[in-house]
Amino acid sequence: MKVKTAGITDEQVVAYSWTDRSVRWTLVSSTQQRSQDGKYELTPKGDNTLVQFEITVDPQVPLPGFVLKRAIKGTIDTATEALRSQVLKVKKGQ
């Protein structure tokens, strides 16, 4: 997949593993990162769901703090939108 954030475009391949209440991924290859690991864990809370998100990223080149913060925010926004989209797809199928 192609990810663009903070003016940086990265071609990534990630491997996913799924359980009933979580999804984890690890970076297989990337043009801009040495490694990336992330996960979502979902916990039912009454009529709602608590979503916990974790990600660790090791860029190939050192980045200034402000660029890294912007890139992390873009990654979180992209990941959150992807999760929201998947949840809505699953909900429509029920």
34 or 83: which leads in pLDDT: 34
Q: Is the pLDDT of residue 43 over 70?
A: yes
Answer with the residue of higher pLDDT: 52 or 92.
52
DSSP one-letter code for 61: S
pLDDT band at 3 (very low <50, low <70, confident <90, very high): confident
Q: Which residue has the higher pLDDT, 66 or 29?
A: 29
CA distances from 41 to 35, 37, 56 (A): 20, 14, 15
Average pLDDT rounded to a whole number, residues 60-83:
82
Report whether 3 contacts 10 (CB < 8 A).
Answer: yes
Strand partners, 35: 58
| Strands of 2-90, DSSP E | 2-5, 8-18, 22-30, 33-45, 48-59
The pLDDT of residue 88: 84
